Amino acid sequence: MAEALRLEHVSLSYGARQALDDVSFSVAPGRFCALLGPNGAGKSTLFGLMTRLLVTRSGRIEIAGHDVARAPRKALARIGVVFQQPTLDLDLTVARNMRYFAALHGLSGRAAAIRIDAALDRLAMRERAGEKARALNGGHRRRMEIARALVHEPDLLLLDEPTVGLDAMSRKAITAHVHDLAEDGLSVLWATHLVDEIGPGDDVVVLHRGRVLRQALASDIAGPAGLAEAFLEMTAEGGGA
Amino acid sequence: MNGWLSALRAIVAREALRFLHQRGRFLSALVRPLVWLVVFAAGFRAALGLSIIPPYQTYITYEVYIVPGLCGMIQLFNGMQSSLSLVYDREMGSMRLLMTSPLPRWWLLFCKLTAGVAVSILQVYAFLAIAAGFGIVLPLAGYLWAFPALVLSGLMLGALGLFISSTVRQLENFAGVMNFVIFPMFFLSTALYPLWKMAESSRLLRDICALNPFTHAVELIRFALYQSLNGWALFWVASGFLVFFLLALWGYDPARSRPGRD
């Protein structure tokens, strides 16, 4: 079975600025993988490349076995994305937002309705389907965006700092929901700079200044001092150089 | 192919709904040309003599002359308004949703374009209905003939807006578009005066007007409203659409994008 995500020697630079430098890592099917890095590490740039909002000639990115550069449409069809910035149409209802997204993935009519209901059920959002997105609180908006990213039944769910701006309770709930999705067999890449969103059994890729410092199980990286300490030590001034 | 059409339907429906929600936009889209028609044209009526030129077969009042130009103006403003909303969408992040769809990018941009054209045509027909209420009634079949002309001119002006939106990085820079695109395109065209009238004051201005794609969009609409085809205008508008759309595709090429923040 192909890996859900595979990056090989991916680099990207803009003039003198090296945004990503020889990044290689992979996400196995059904795993929750945290892409852990401080602000400016290159996480969003990496997301841009995986979703083909950006392109690079250096390196190779495969999603569920499809090369993003050679078969972008097949690759994009296999991912669900939750961007850091909200991408909801606040004037539309939850259901209309979902239908719009489904149509962008070529789904309509009954087939779309069944999948939308299933995705909303999965995130416990079905009873909110008739409400306008504007009426939802931050946590529910995020949940809806996650549900929306699941409508086309992707192999890989990409989330770029999805808990930014949420209160502690919503953050915990969203993190738990996505861990549950991974336990159900969905592969997840979760970008964050907050170590408390990562469980000991999760895979972790530490990204700093555009370079991968380490990929291992969270408990292995943590060591006796804990993940937060280990992360701070790795990314301390000069740590990534 | 069904998936492609689903996306087209969804994008057009979303744009139409968005437009209907923005009542202010609908109102200003109608008031703007009506002010030109009722106030400006009434004042110029006495000052400006018009000879009989194709497609007209009799003397016409100035109000009748400027109606096609005002239809074009509605589409020009709408094209730029769509462009503005694309820049807004990009800043707000919702453009990413569209761009990460597995459908081809050219098709997604074409769907956006079609949605803008549909909205602009709604506005044009609403304007023509109000103009008819003011007594400016055109040949009945002309309203039907105008439809394909409006589709093509809308596509060309929308594609221009799409291209501009790909080059404008921030919403604040958009005011420049008004000064450097909308006003010159509108005033240096046959929307308000025929070419021969322009030539009376300056040959250079006349030549600039003849090169302005908006002139040809206006003439395509003008001839269609009188059930005739202006082949030269059709060629210009179709070519303009192709060129602007190709430029927009180049502008939205991911290879030209810059990374965002983490």
Regarding beta strands A17-27 and A5-14, do their DSSP bridges make them parallel or antiparallel, or are they unpaired?
antiparallel
Q: For residue A115, what are its two tokens?
A: 């999948």
**B242 assigned to some structural domain:** yes
Q: From chain B, pick out residues whose CB is under 8 angstroms from the CB of A58.
A: none
**Residue B198 identity (one-letter amino acid):** M
Q: For residue A210, what are its two tokens?
A: 């555009």
pLDDT band at B178; cut points 50, 70, 90: confident
Q: Is B100 on the interface with A (CB under 8 A)?
A: yes
* Spatial CA neighbour of A207 closest among A155, A149, A161, A167: A161
Indicate the average pLDDT of chain A.
92
Q: Mean pLDDT throughout B74-91? A: 85
Q: Mean pLDDT throughout B7-32? A: 86
Q: Residue B218: pLDDT above 60?
A: yes
Mutate to test the interface with A, among B17, B97, B107, B256 (most CBs of A within 10 A): B97
Q: For residue B10, what are its two tokens?
A: 């969804």
Q: Residue A186: pLDDT above 50?
A: yes
Residue that the structure tokens 């991911």 belong to? B254
Burial status of residue B203 (CB atoms within 10 A of its CB: 0-12, 13-18, 19 or more): exposed
Q: For residue A81, what are its two tokens?
A: 């994305």
| Distance, C-alpha B159 to centroid of its chain | 9
DSSP A195: G
Instruction: State the Cα–Cα distance between residues A166 and A172, nearest whole angstrom.
Output: 9
Name which of A44, A54, A102 is nearest B262 (Cβ-Cβ): A44
Secondary structure (3-state) at B29? helix
**B262 assigned to some structural domain:** no
Q: Say how many Å lie between the first and final Cα of chain B, rounded.
A: 37
pLDDT at B95: 85
Q: Residue B110: pLDDT above 50?
A: yes
Which residues 134-173 of A have a C-beta within 8 angstroms of B? Answer: 161
Q: Mean pLDDT throughout A140-167? A: 94
Percent of chain B whose pLDDT exceeds 70: 94
* Spatial CA neighbour of A26 closest among A54, A58, A61, A1: A61
Give kind and range of the element (H or E) at residue A71: none
**B234 assigned to some structural domain:** yes
**Residue A73 identity (one-letter amino acid):** R
Contact A130, A93 (CB under 8 A): yes
pLDDT at B86: 83
Is the CATH number of domain A78-187 3.30.70.2190? no
Q: Mean pLDDT throughout B11-16? A: 90
Enumerate the domain spans of chain A.
Answer: 1-30+44-77, 78-187
Q: DSSP letters of A135-185?
A: GS-HHHHHHHHHHHHHTT--SEEEEESTTTT--HHHHHHHHHHHHHHHHTT
Asked if B262 and A19 come within 8 Å (Cβ–Cβ), the reply is no
Q: Residue B10: pLDDT above 70?
A: yes
DSSP A14: E
Q: From chain B, pick out residues whose CB is under 8 angstroms from the CB of A77.
A: 102
Name the region of A109 (left: φ>0; alpha: ψ -120 to 50; beta: rest).
left
Instruction: State the Cα–Cα distance between residues A231 and B73, nearest whole angstrom.
Output: 59
* Spatial CA neighbour of B88 closest among A87, A54, A132, A82: A87
ipTM here: 0.85
Q: From chain B, pick out residues whose CB is under 8 angstroms from the CB of A108.
A: 2, 6, 9-10
Q: Residue B259: pLDDT above 70?
A: no
Which residues lie closer than 8 Å to A159 by C-beta, 6 or more apart? A81, A82, A146, A178, A188, A189, A190, A191
Q: Mean pLDDT throughout B27-56? A: 79
Q: Which tens digits make up the pLDDT trace of B184-207?
A: 999 999 988 888 888 888 899 999
pLDDT at A241: 40
Structural domains in chain B (count) = 1
**B259 assigned to some structural domain:** no
pLDDT at A240: 45
A201–chain B nearest CA distance, Å: 25
Residue that the structure tokens 């020697």 belong to? A9
**B261 assigned to some structural domain:** no
pLDDT at B258: 67
B54 vs B33: which has the higher pLDDT: B33
Instruction: State the Cα–Cα distance between residues A200 and B254, nearest whole angstrom.
Output: 37
A-B contacts at Cβ under 8 angstroms: 108
Q: Residue A156: pLDDT above 70?
A: yes
pLDDT band at B48; cut points 50, 70, 90: low
Residue B114 lies in domain: 2-254
Which residues lie closer than 8 Å to B175 by C-beta, 6 or more apart? none
| Distance, C-alpha B7 to centroid of its chain | 23
pLDDT at A113: 94
Q: From chain A, pick out residues whose CB is under 8 angstroms from the CB of B255.
A: 55
Which residues lie closer than 8 Å to A157 by C-beta, 6 or more apart? A79, A80, A81, A82, A146, A149, A150, A178, A181, A186, A187, A188, A189
Name which of B21, B254, B258 is nearest A14 (Cβ-Cβ): B258
Q: Residue B131: pLDDT above 60?
A: yes
